[in-house]
Protein backbone atom coordinates (compact mmCIF):
# COMPACT_ATOMS: atom_id res chain seq x y z
CA UNK A 1 0.00 0.00 0.00
CA UNK A 2 1.17 3.51 -0.77
CA UNK A 3 0.16 6.99 0.25
CA UNK A 4 -0.97 7.62 -3.35
CA UNK A 5 -3.51 4.84 -2.81
CA UNK A 6 -4.93 6.44 0.33
CA UNK A 7 -8.39 6.74 -1.21
CA UNK A 8 -8.38 3.01 -2.00
CA UNK A 9 -7.40 2.22 1.59
CA UNK A 10 -10.14 4.53 2.86
CA UNK A 11 -12.69 2.71 0.69
CA UNK A 12 -11.98 -0.57 2.48
CA UNK A 13 -12.74 0.88 5.94
CA UNK A 14 -15.93 0.25 7.86
CA UNK A 15 -18.41 3.16 7.96
CA UNK A 16 -17.33 4.02 11.49
CA UNK A 17 -13.63 3.95 10.63
CA UNK A 18 -14.19 6.00 7.50
CA UNK A 19 -16.19 8.56 9.43
CA UNK A 20 -13.40 8.93 11.99
CA UNK A 21 -10.77 9.25 9.24
CA UNK A 22 -12.78 11.99 7.58
CA UNK A 23 -13.41 13.70 10.91
CA UNK A 24 -9.65 14.04 11.38
CA UNK A 25 -8.32 14.53 7.90
CA UNK A 26 -8.99 16.37 4.68
CA UNK A 27 -7.43 14.21 1.99
CA UNK A 28 -6.84 15.38 -1.57
CA UNK A 29 -5.03 13.55 -4.32
CA UNK A 30 -4.14 15.39 -7.48
CA UNK A 31 -1.80 15.43 -10.45
CA UNK A 32 0.75 18.12 -11.23
CA UNK A 33 1.59 18.27 -14.92
CA UNK A 34 4.60 19.60 -16.79
CA UNK A 35 6.12 19.32 -20.25
CA UNK A 36 9.74 18.27 -20.73
CA UNK A 37 11.81 19.54 -23.66
CA UNK A 38 13.17 16.66 -25.77
CA UNK A 39 16.71 17.52 -24.63
CA UNK A 40 15.81 16.75 -21.01
CA UNK A 41 14.10 13.42 -21.49
CA UNK A 42 17.16 11.14 -21.38
CA UNK A 43 18.39 12.76 -18.21
CA UNK A 44 14.94 12.51 -16.59
CA UNK A 45 14.64 8.86 -17.63
CA UNK A 46 17.99 8.09 -15.97
CA UNK A 47 17.28 10.13 -12.88
CA UNK A 48 13.63 9.14 -12.25
CA UNK A 49 13.25 5.92 -14.28
CA UNK A 50 10.27 7.29 -16.12
CA UNK A 51 9.33 10.32 -18.18
CA UNK A 52 5.60 9.81 -17.65
CA UNK A 53 5.87 9.88 -13.86
CA UNK A 54 7.62 13.23 -14.06
CA UNK A 55 5.24 14.72 -16.62
CA UNK A 56 2.24 13.69 -14.51
CA UNK A 57 3.15 13.73 -10.82
CA UNK A 58 0.86 12.37 -8.15
CA UNK A 59 0.61 14.60 -5.11
CA UNK A 60 -1.22 13.66 -1.92
CA UNK A 61 -2.35 16.33 0.52
CA UNK A 62 -3.32 15.28 4.05
CA UNK A 63 -4.46 17.94 6.51
CA UNK A 64 -5.46 17.45 10.13
CA UNK A 65 -8.67 19.48 10.48
CA UNK A 66 -8.06 20.11 14.19
CA UNK A 67 -4.36 20.85 14.53
CA UNK A 68 -3.72 22.19 11.03
CA UNK A 69 -0.83 19.73 10.63
CA UNK A 70 -0.55 19.44 6.86
CA UNK A 71 1.71 17.30 4.70
CA UNK A 72 2.11 17.29 0.94
CA UNK A 73 3.49 14.00 -0.34
CA UNK A 74 5.13 13.61 -3.70
CA UNK A 75 6.54 10.16 -4.23
CA UNK A 76 8.75 11.50 -7.00
CA UNK A 77 10.78 13.43 -4.45
CA UNK A 78 11.76 10.10 -2.92
CA UNK A 79 13.21 8.89 -6.20
CA UNK A 80 16.66 10.24 -5.72
CA UNK A 81 20.06 8.94 -6.69
CA UNK A 82 20.96 6.11 -4.35
CA UNK A 83 22.60 7.40 -1.25
CA UNK A 84 25.99 6.17 -0.12
CA UNK A 85 26.64 3.76 2.66
CA UNK A 86 25.75 4.50 6.23
CA UNK A 87 28.19 7.02 7.56
CA UNK A 88 29.77 6.76 10.94
CA UNK A 89 30.67 9.74 13.03
CA UNK A 90 34.29 9.12 13.73
CA UNK A 91 35.15 12.21 15.66
CA UNK A 92 36.59 10.77 18.86
CA UNK A 93 38.54 13.80 19.99
CA UNK A 94 37.89 14.52 23.65
CA UNK A 95 35.44 17.41 23.77
CA UNK A 96 34.04 19.66 26.48
CA UNK A 97 31.26 17.13 27.18
CA UNK A 98 33.83 14.35 27.63
CA UNK A 99 34.75 16.11 30.88
CA UNK A 100 31.47 17.54 32.20
CA UNK A 101 32.63 17.94 35.82
CA UNK A 102 35.18 20.59 34.82
CA UNK A 103 33.89 21.82 31.50
CA UNK A 104 30.14 22.29 32.02
CA UNK A 105 28.15 24.32 34.57
CA UNK A 106 25.89 22.62 37.08
CA UNK A 107 22.39 23.49 38.28
CA UNK A 108 21.88 25.32 41.59
CA UNK A 109 20.86 21.96 43.13
CA UNK A 110 23.95 20.21 41.76
CA UNK A 111 24.22 17.32 39.32
CA UNK A 112 22.15 14.16 38.96
CA UNK A 113 24.27 11.13 38.16
CA UNK A 114 23.02 8.16 36.22
CA UNK A 115 24.83 4.98 35.33
CA UNK A 116 25.65 6.16 31.80
CA UNK A 117 25.24 9.91 32.10
CA UNK A 118 25.35 13.02 34.26
CA UNK A 119 23.33 16.23 34.18
CA UNK A 120 24.64 19.73 33.58
CA UNK A 121 23.05 23.13 33.43
CA UNK A 122 22.80 24.55 29.92
CA UNK A 123 25.21 27.45 29.48
CA UNK A 124 22.84 29.49 27.31
CA UNK A 125 19.31 28.81 28.49
CA UNK A 126 15.99 29.25 26.79
CA UNK A 127 14.02 28.60 29.94
CA UNK A 128 14.50 29.21 33.66
CA UNK A 129 15.31 25.53 34.12
CA UNK A 130 17.25 24.20 31.16
CA UNK A 131 19.51 21.24 31.75
CA UNK A 132 21.41 18.60 29.84
CA UNK A 133 21.80 14.88 30.19
CA UNK A 134 25.36 14.37 29.00
CA UNK A 135 26.06 10.81 27.97
CA UNK A 136 29.30 9.19 29.21
CA UNK A 137 29.71 7.95 25.66
CA UNK A 138 30.93 10.61 23.23
CA UNK A 139 29.51 9.00 20.08
CA UNK A 140 25.71 9.57 19.99
CA UNK A 141 25.31 6.61 17.65
CA UNK A 142 26.16 4.16 20.41
CA UNK A 143 22.72 3.25 21.73
CA UNK A 144 21.55 0.41 23.93
CA UNK A 145 18.26 -0.06 25.74
CA UNK A 146 20.02 0.26 29.11
CA UNK A 147 21.51 3.57 28.11
CA UNK A 148 18.26 5.04 26.76
CA UNK A 149 16.44 3.97 29.95
CA UNK A 150 19.16 5.52 32.08
CA UNK A 151 19.13 8.83 30.18
CA UNK A 152 15.37 9.14 30.55
CA UNK A 153 15.39 8.05 34.20
CA UNK A 154 18.09 10.62 34.95
CA UNK A 155 16.06 13.26 33.11
CA UNK A 156 13.04 12.42 35.27
CA UNK A 157 15.16 12.69 38.43
CA UNK A 158 16.38 16.08 37.22
CA UNK A 159 12.78 17.15 36.66
CA UNK A 160 11.82 16.04 40.19
CA UNK A 161 14.68 18.08 41.64
CA UNK A 162 13.63 21.10 39.58
CA UNK A 163 10.00 20.89 40.74
CA UNK A 164 11.21 20.65 44.34
CA UNK A 165 13.54 23.61 43.78
CA UNK A 166 10.74 25.61 42.19
CA UNK A 167 8.22 24.56 44.83
CA UNK A 168 5.48 23.58 42.41
CA UNK A 169 4.44 21.76 39.25
CA UNK A 170 6.02 22.65 35.97
CA UNK A 171 5.73 21.59 32.36
CA UNK A 172 8.23 18.96 31.33
CA UNK A 173 9.85 18.92 27.90
CA UNK A 174 12.71 16.59 26.96
CA UNK A 175 14.46 16.73 23.63
CA UNK A 176 17.32 15.10 21.81
CA UNK A 177 18.84 16.85 18.82
CA UNK A 178 21.21 14.27 17.36
CA UNK A 179 24.05 15.57 15.17
CA UNK A 180 24.26 18.81 13.27
CA UNK A 181 21.40 18.41 10.80
CA UNK A 182 19.02 18.44 13.76
CA UNK A 183 20.27 21.72 15.23
CA UNK A 184 22.78 20.13 17.63
CA UNK A 185 25.87 22.29 18.07
CA UNK A 186 27.83 19.62 19.94
CA UNK A 187 28.46 16.14 18.57
CA UNK A 188 28.89 14.45 21.95
CA UNK A 189 25.66 12.61 22.81
CA UNK A 190 23.33 14.64 25.00
CA UNK A 191 19.65 15.22 25.65
CA UNK A 192 18.16 18.52 26.76
CA UNK A 193 15.66 19.01 29.55
CA UNK A 194 13.47 21.99 30.16
CA UNK A 195 11.01 22.70 32.91
CA UNK A 196 8.76 25.63 32.22
CA UNK A 197 6.14 27.59 34.09
CA UNK A 198 4.61 28.51 30.75
CA UNK A 199 3.19 25.90 28.42
CA UNK A 200 5.08 26.20 25.13
CA UNK A 201 2.97 27.87 22.42
CA UNK A 202 2.62 24.87 20.10
CA UNK A 203 1.71 22.58 22.98
CA UNK A 204 -0.76 25.15 24.28
CA UNK A 205 -2.54 25.09 20.91
CA UNK A 206 -2.47 21.29 21.03
CA UNK A 207 -4.01 21.28 24.54
CA UNK A 208 -6.83 23.48 23.25
CA UNK A 209 -7.42 21.09 20.35
CA UNK A 210 -7.63 18.15 22.74
CA UNK A 211 -10.01 19.99 25.03
CA UNK A 212 -12.28 21.23 22.20
CA UNK A 213 -12.32 17.73 20.70
CA UNK A 214 -13.45 16.25 23.99
CA UNK A 215 -16.19 18.88 24.35
CA UNK A 216 -17.46 18.34 20.84
CA UNK A 217 -17.23 14.56 20.45
CA UNK A 218 -17.20 13.38 24.07
CA UNK A 219 -14.13 11.36 23.15
CA UNK A 220 -10.37 11.40 23.65
CA UNK A 221 -8.37 13.07 20.86
CA UNK A 222 -5.18 11.00 21.17
CA UNK A 223 -7.05 7.76 21.56
CA UNK A 224 -9.09 8.50 18.40
CA UNK A 225 -5.94 9.62 16.55
CA UNK A 226 -4.47 6.19 17.32
CA UNK A 227 -7.67 4.51 16.13
CA UNK A 228 -7.47 6.30 12.78
CA UNK A 229 -3.84 5.29 12.30
CA UNK A 230 -4.72 1.75 13.36
CA UNK A 231 -7.52 1.48 10.80
CA UNK A 232 -5.06 2.49 8.06
CA UNK A 233 -2.43 -0.02 9.16
CA UNK A 234 -0.17 2.79 10.37
CA UNK A 235 0.01 1.75 14.03
CA UNK A 236 1.95 -0.82 16.05
CA UNK A 237 1.90 -1.45 19.78
CA UNK A 238 4.83 -1.95 22.11
CA UNK A 239 4.12 -2.50 25.83
CA UNK A 240 1.79 0.35 26.84
CA UNK A 241 2.86 2.43 23.89
CA UNK A 242 1.19 2.98 20.57
CA UNK A 243 3.52 3.73 17.69
CA UNK A 244 2.06 5.84 14.88
CA UNK A 245 3.66 6.13 11.45
CA UNK A 246 2.31 9.60 11.30
CA UNK A 247 0.12 10.51 8.36
CA UNK A 248 0.83 14.24 8.70
CA UNK A 249 4.59 14.10 9.36
CA UNK A 250 6.33 17.39 10.11
CA UNK A 251 9.24 16.07 8.01
CA UNK A 252 10.60 12.75 6.76
CA UNK A 253 9.79 9.45 8.53
CA UNK A 254 8.08 11.03 11.51
CA UNK A 255 6.98 8.55 14.17
CA UNK A 256 4.73 9.52 17.08
CA UNK A 257 4.45 7.46 20.25
CA UNK A 258 1.38 7.78 22.47
CA UNK A 259 2.09 6.21 25.82
CA UNK A 260 0.18 5.67 29.04
CA UNK A 261 3.48 5.44 30.95
CA UNK A 262 3.59 7.73 33.99
CA UNK A 263 7.20 8.68 33.37
CA UNK A 264 9.20 9.00 30.19
CA UNK A 265 11.54 6.14 31.16
CA UNK A 266 8.47 3.88 30.91
CA UNK A 267 8.82 4.43 27.14
CA UNK A 268 12.51 3.48 27.03
CA UNK A 269 11.96 0.10 25.37
CA UNK A 270 9.87 1.64 22.58
CA UNK A 271 12.18 4.61 22.06
CA UNK A 272 15.18 2.31 21.89
CA UNK A 273 13.41 0.16 19.28
CA UNK A 274 12.61 3.22 17.18
CA UNK A 275 16.16 4.57 17.36
CA UNK A 276 17.49 1.17 16.34
CA UNK A 277 14.99 1.14 13.46
CA UNK A 278 16.25 4.57 12.39
CA UNK A 279 19.87 3.41 12.64
CA UNK A 280 19.10 0.32 10.54
CA UNK A 281 17.59 2.62 7.89
CA UNK A 282 20.72 4.78 7.91
CA UNK A 283 19.14 7.75 9.70
CA UNK A 284 21.94 9.51 11.58
CA UNK A 285 20.54 12.89 12.49
CA UNK A 286 17.15 13.23 14.14
CA UNK A 287 15.04 15.18 16.60
CA UNK A 288 13.26 13.48 19.46
CA UNK A 289 10.81 15.36 21.69
CA UNK A 290 8.96 14.01 24.72
CA UNK A 291 6.17 15.88 26.48
CA UNK A 292 3.02 15.25 28.47
CA UNK A 293 -0.53 15.67 27.26
CA UNK A 294 -3.12 15.00 29.96
CA UNK A 295 -2.38 11.54 31.30
CA UNK A 296 -0.26 10.60 28.28
CA UNK A 297 3.38 10.90 27.44
CA UNK A 298 3.92 11.68 23.78
CA UNK A 299 7.19 11.22 21.90
CA UNK A 300 7.85 12.54 18.41
CA UNK A 301 10.81 11.44 16.33
CA UNK A 302 11.83 12.80 12.94
CA UNK A 303 14.63 12.21 10.44
CA UNK A 304 16.60 15.36 9.53
CA UNK A 305 18.34 14.08 6.45
CA UNK A 306 21.73 13.03 5.21
CA UNK A 307 24.74 14.29 7.20
CA UNK A 308 26.55 15.23 3.98
CA UNK A 309 23.65 17.18 2.53
CA UNK A 310 24.31 20.91 2.38
CA UNK A 311 20.68 21.72 1.61
CA UNK A 312 18.46 22.25 4.65
CA UNK A 313 15.48 19.93 4.83
CA UNK A 314 13.12 22.75 5.74
CA UNK A 315 12.29 25.90 3.85
CA UNK A 316 9.58 28.53 3.70
CA UNK A 317 6.93 25.87 3.01
CA UNK A 318 7.64 24.08 6.29
CA UNK A 319 8.05 27.29 8.30
CA UNK A 320 4.96 29.07 7.05
CA UNK A 321 2.66 26.74 5.09
CA UNK A 322 2.81 22.93 5.05
CA UNK A 323 5.41 20.16 5.14
CA UNK A 324 6.67 18.75 1.87
CA UNK A 325 7.34 15.04 2.30
CA UNK A 326 9.03 12.41 0.17
CA UNK A 327 8.96 9.36 2.41
CA UNK A 328 5.72 7.38 2.42
CA UNK A 329 4.40 6.55 5.94
CA UNK A 330 2.89 3.32 4.57
CA UNK A 331 6.37 2.29 3.44
CA UNK A 332 7.74 3.22 6.86
CA UNK A 333 5.10 1.03 8.57
CA UNK A 334 5.90 -1.89 6.27
CA UNK A 335 9.62 -1.60 6.93
CA UNK A 336 9.21 -1.49 10.71
CA UNK A 337 10.27 -4.87 12.09
CA UNK A 338 10.90 -5.53 15.71
ZN1 LIG B 1 32.92 14.18 23.87
- Return the axis-axis angle of helices 268-280 and 145-166, rounded to nearest 10°: 130
**Cα torsion angle, 327, 252, 74, 6, sign:** positive
pLDDT computed for residue 85 by the predictor = 46
Identify whether 137 is part of a domain. no
Q: For the whole model, what pTM was predicted?
A: 0.94
Distance 258 CA to ligand 1 centre (A): 32
Integer distance in angstroms from the first to the last C-alpha of the chain?
20
> pLDDT (tens digit, 9 = 90+) per residue, 167-201?
888 999 999 999 999 999 999 999 999 999 999 99
Distance 94 CA to ligand 1 centre (A): 5
Q: How many domains does the chain have?
A: 1
Tell me which residue range forms the domain holding 21: 3-79+202-255+303-335
Distance 98 CA to ligand 1 centre (A): 4
Q: How far apart are CA 178 and CA 285, in angstroms?
A: 5
Q: How far apart are CA 161 and CA 180, in angstroms?
A: 30
Beta carbons of 12 and 52 less than 8 angstroms apart: no
Distance 91 CA to ligand 1 centre (A): 9
Closest CA to 253 of 141, 338, 331, 158: 331
- Give me the percent of the chain exceeding a pLDDT of 90: 88
Distance 263 CA to ligand 1 centre (A): 28
Q: How far apart are CA 151 and CA 133, in angstroms?
A: 7
Structure confidence at residue 77 as a pLDDT band (50, 70, 90): confident
pLDDT computed for residue 93 by the predictor = 66
Average pLDDT over residues 132-148: 96
Burial 174-204 (b: 16+ CB within 10 A, else e): bbbbbbebbebeebbbbbbbbbbeeeeeebe
Identify whether 282 is part of a domain. no
Identify whether 31 is part of a domain. yes
**Cα torsion angle, 337, 26, 215, 199, sign:** positive
Identify whether 195 is part of a domain. no
pLDDT computed for residue 88 by the predictor = 57
Identify whether 218 is part of a domain. yes
Beta carbons of 261 and 297 less than 8 angstroms apart: yes
Distance 97 CA to ligand 1 centre (A): 5
Distance 99 CA to ligand 1 centre (A): 8
Identify whether 127 is part of a domain. no
Distance 162 CA to ligand 1 centre (A): 26
Distance 284 CA to ligand 1 centre (A): 17
Distance 196 CA to ligand 1 centre (A): 28
> pLDDT (tens digit, 9 = 90+) per residue, 141-166?
999 999 999 999 999 999 999 999 98
Distance 137 CA to ligand 1 centre (A): 7
Distance 89 CA to ligand 1 centre (A): 12
- Return the axis-axis angle of helices 201-217 and 221-231, rounded to nearest 10°: 80
pLDDT computed for residue 118 by the predictor = 98
pLDDT computed for residue 76 by the predictor = 84
Identify whether 128 is part of a domain. no
Q: How far apart are CA 170 and CA 189, in angstroms?
A: 26
Identify whether 15 is part of a domain. yes
Distance 188 CA to ligand 1 centre (A): 4
Distance 140 CA to ligand 1 centre (A): 9
Give the DSSP per-residue string, 178-207. ESGGGT-S--S-EEEEEEESS--HHHHHHH
pLDDT computed for residue 162 by the predictor = 95
Distance 55 CA to ligand 1 centre (A): 49
pLDDT computed for residue 84 by the predictor = 47
Distance 135 CA to ligand 1 centre (A): 9
Structure confidence at residue 39 as a pLDDT band (50, 70, 90): very high
Residue list, CB under 5 A from ion ligand 1: 95, 97-98, 138, 188
Beta carbons of 191 and 226 less than 8 angstroms apart: no
Cβ atoms within 10 Å of 319's Cβ, excluding its own: 8
- Looking at every residue in the chain, the average pLDDT score rounds to 94
Which of residues 101 and 337 earns the better pLDDT score?
A: 101
> pLDDT (tens digit, 9 = 90+) per residue, 233-292?
999 999 989 999 999 999 999 999 999 999 999 999 999 999 999 999 999 999 999 999
Amino acid sequence: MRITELEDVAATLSDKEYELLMRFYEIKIFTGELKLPAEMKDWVRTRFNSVERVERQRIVSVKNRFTGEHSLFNELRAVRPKEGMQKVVQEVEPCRFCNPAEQTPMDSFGRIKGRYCVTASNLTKYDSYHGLVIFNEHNPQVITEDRIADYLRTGERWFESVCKDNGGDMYKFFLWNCLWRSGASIIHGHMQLTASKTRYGKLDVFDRVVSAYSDRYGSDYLSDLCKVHGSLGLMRTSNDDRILFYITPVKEKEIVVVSTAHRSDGMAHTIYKLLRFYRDMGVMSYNLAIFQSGSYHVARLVDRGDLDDRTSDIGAMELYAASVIAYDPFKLAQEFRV
